[in-house]
Amino acid sequence: MASLLDIAPAGRTVPVRGTDVAVTGVSAAGLATLLHRFPALLAALGGGNMSAETLAEAAPEALAAVIAAGTGSPGDSKAEAVAATLSASEQLDLLSAIIAETMPQGVEDFVRRLESLATAATGGRGAPKDR
């Protein structure tokens, strides 16, 4: 039987300006941090149709942070600054790969499972509301 240590790192590469950039996706901790920093991401995610385009429209200021997190540098201001200088097309290429790596079964499935966990954790009352 395999352990967590036996799992090969997930990911893919995205060519950007002649260089292959490794995309690993965003961890649960990284996602929680991003949602706390950028509440508009929660609205985009909650709709179940988060695409790179939706994310760009819902929280343009968060794009660089998501790209940094999804390429292995969560919260790194230098990585975020570089991500912010990329063209819109390059950002969308990276974001598409990051979303696919972060939620491989799709956004709707991810949101459905997250809501199910929230319901179970709160005894059927659903996710806690902001006060």
Q: Does residue 9 belong to any structural domain of this protein? A: no
Q: Are 27 and 9 in contact (CB under 8 A)?
A: no
Q: Does residue 34 belong to any structural domain of this protein? A: yes
Q: Does residue 124 belong to any structural domain of this protein? A: no
Q: Does residue 125 belong to any structural domain of this protein? A: no
Mean per-residue pLDDT of the chain: 83
Buried residues in 30-50 as b, exposed as e (16+ CB within 10 A): bbebbeeebeebeebbeeeeb
**φ and ψ of 96, to 5 deg:** -60, -45
Q: Does residue 109 belong to any structural domain of this protein? A: yes
Dump pLDDT digits (tens) for 12-65: 999 999 999 999 989 888 888 888 888 777 776 766 555 666 666 656 678 899
Range of the domain at 44: 25-118
pTM of the model: 0.76
Give the count of domains, the chain: 1
